[in-house]
Amino acid sequence: MNFVHYILLSLFSSGAMAQGDTIPTYHSGGFRAPLDVPILLAGSFGEPRPGHFHMGMDLQTLEKEGLPVYALGDGYVSRIGVSPYGYGNALYITYPNGFTSVYGHLQGFGEKITALVRKEQYAKESFSVDITVKPYELNVKKGEVVAFSGNTGASGGPHVHFEIRDVAERTINPLLFGYTMSDHIAPVIGGLKVYPMDALKHTADGYRSPLAIVKGSYSPKTGLLKVNASSIALAINTYDKMEGTTHTLGIYDIKAYDGDSIIHEYRVDRVTFDHTRDVIAQVDYPVFIKEGSRAFHKCFQEANNKIPSSYYHVRNNGVIDLSDGTVHNIKIEVRDYNGNLSTLRAQVQYDPKTVTFKAKPLKYNKVLSPYQDNNYSADGFNISIPGKALLDSMFVTYSSTPSTTNGIFSNVHKFGESQDQLLNYFTVSVKPVSLPENLKSKALIIWRNAGGGTAARSSKWEGDMLTARSREFGSYFIMIDTTPPRIVPINITPGKNMHAAKAVYMRLSDGLSGLDEYKAYIDDKWQLMEMDGKTATLKMFLPNTLTAGEHTFKLTATDERGNKAEYSVKFNY
């Protein structure tokens, strides 16, 4: 049996079943901690984030950068990423047991890793690189300093994003590997939401019930909940807190019971990248976006909500049948990663005479099905939506209005509401109006939400229609981008002596289609210039080989539509 076959067998031959996906047994111990400071979380594994589940743990670093980051065991560097966005400086180390540790938002790497990164950056003349390293080409030892903590990429402050992945690139809750942390605070349950699941399902909003703590358990302040729906589903507003931090964290496990029978369990042991957007299925997403981290976790599953390895003991998709008219004793247990428990108890009864759920008329001209592909065409507009992109049936309204705004070269096509998020991409096509032929290469589709915010979608021509992919409903129209990126010098001016400055700082931005690439030169020789995506700031350390006298600095930048900007200045050294 070869090494790969052994690893695959060991990972997938044991463990509990959830939605048909096997959870492997994780051996505690063996791995050391990634940092020398106690584990204190700024973000927990699997917690809801806008558009995705959090794929790792955010480890606090004493609110500073530069802490040593260690290899968990003997292994080898398998991948290195450098980007102004996302994980920023990221490092991947693979171990003989088949697992890989991932560290993100790093300030920098150890010497031998940095040398490899610099070689690749200069070979490709690019700051951003994604390097795949051959197995055992760059070995590390357990406890070796492989990087330093930082704040690069899409980080909101100094910390280390830490993941453990298996051989199939699925992220695993690192706490399953024996790491411990001090936490004796039970999760908070902030509210209960009840949804009608009978004939009122699509015509009535859910009902929120405020809670009180009675004898150590959360309960509805109203006491017995009488509802005018013969079947219901539940969601709870819940989150966790931890000693030593003010951060709001995600929960680990939610079990829902009808009487003595468990009807639904959600547990965060592993998250797969192809299902990370399913966060919009697990939480009441419109409420989550509007109210932030106070997510209502659903204790039921809609048609296309099938997150692998997260659901257990599911009965009737978590829907509770109240048609017998009796009082149902509901219990929901919430646990955090340290096993601290909070409980909600409620009594619910079907009563057709109540008006808990108030029916409202549906306004729509298209019904979308989660069980088949959906296509809609109108004059100058096409949309094609895979059924698997929908959580459940949707009732949407389409409208088209001529634009009165300069710079818009199509009708404004509104399809559904912008808060309606989809699980996967759909295709949208728009036909231009009065678009000059010479500007077709500059055209792109723009999405606009209900608040007026806009975003460009990468677009291509298919016949006489401009086509793009998107995952949000809302308004779509065509604009052109003929404006080059904006380059603003920060500390360099014509004739300035830069010897004392040691570095050149610039600011670089693009207003519509987005930055594609940039290149910096001194005396026509390419130079590494780092970019901070959060501040759109570029930094280039002046080479120590620079001689005294006059030199030329040049920066070029191109956006996604091919518009190019150039800044050139002579300076002294």
The residue ranges of every structural domain in the chain are 3-177, 188-350, 366-480, 486-572
Those residues whose C-beta lies under 8 Å from the C-beta of residue 297, and which sit 6 or more positions away, are 235, 236, 237, 238, 251, 254, 266, 282, 283
pLDDT at 471: 95
- The CATH code belonging to domain 3-177 is 2.70.70.10
Phi first, then psi: give them for residue 112, nearest 5 degrees.
-70, -30
Q: How far apart are CA 469 and CA 467, in angstroms?
A: 7
| Contact status, residue 236 vs residue 189, Cβ threshold 8 Å | yes
Q: Do domains 3-177 and 366-480 have the same CATH topology?
A: no
Residue whose tokens read 């065991």: 73
Reading the chain (573 residues) residue by residue, the pLDDT tens digits are 232 332 222 332 223 345 555 555 666 668 999 999 999 999 999 999 999 999 999 999 999 999 999 999 999 999 999 999 999 999 999 999 999 999 999 999 999 999 999 999 999 999 999 999 999 999 999 999 999 999 999 999 999 999 999 999 999 999 999 898 999 999 999 999 999 999 999 999 999 999 999 888 999 999 999 999 999 999 999 999 999 999 999 999 999 999 999 999 999 999 999 899 999 999 999 899 888 766 899 999 999 998 877 999 999 999 999 999 999 999 999 999 999 999 999 999 999 999 999 998 888 999 999 999 999 999 999 999 999 999 999 999 999 999 989 999 999 999 999 888 899 999 999 999 999 999 999 999 999 999 999 999 999 999 999 999 999 999 999 999 999 999 999 999 999 999 999 999 999 999 899 999 999 999 999 999 999 999 999 999 999 999 999 999 999 999 999 999 999 999 999
List the Cα angle 173/178/182 in 5-degree steps.
90
Tell me which DSSP letter residue 18 carries: E
| Contact status, residue 349 vs residue 226, Cβ threshold 8 Å | yes
Q: How far apart are CA 245 and CA 162, in angstroms?
A: 18
Residue 439 tokens read as: 């500007």
Q: How far apart are CA 550 and CA 554, in angstroms?
A: 13
Residue whose tokens read 């909101």: 156
Neighbours of 500 (CB within 10 A): 5
Tell me which DSSP letter residue 8 carries: H
Beta bridge pairs of residue 328: 348
Q: Is the dihedral of CA 166, 170, 171, 172 positive or negative?
A: negative
Phi first, then psi: give them for residue 370, nearest 5 degrees.
-80, -5
| Contact status, residue 41 vs residue 58, Cβ threshold 8 Å | yes
Q: How far apart are CA 258 and CA 376, in angstroms?
A: 41
Q: Which CATH architecture has domain 366-480?
A: Sandwich (2.60)
pLDDT at 23: 56
Tell me which DSSP letter residue 393 carries: -
Neighbours of 493 (CB within 10 A): 9
Residue whose tokens read 């794929």: 55
Question: What is 486-572's CATH topology?
Answer: Immunoglobulin-like (2.60.40)
Residue whose tokens read 């809750």: 173
Those residues whose C-beta lies under 8 Å from the C-beta of residue 116, and which sit 6 or more positions away, are 77, 80, 131, 133, 138
187: amino acid identity, one letter: P
Q: How far apart are CA 545 and CA 543, in angstroms?
A: 5
Residue whose tokens read 């723009």: 446
Residue 305 tokens read as: 């909500």
Residue 269 tokens read as: 């042991």
Residue 232 tokens read as: 């219901």
pLDDT at 309: 78
Task: Give the pairing type, strands 75-82 and 89-94.
Answer: antiparallel
pLDDT at 1: 29
Half-sphere exposure of residue 513, counting CA atoms within 13 Å on the CB side?
27
Beta bridge pairs of residue 377: 382
What pTM does this model have? 0.92
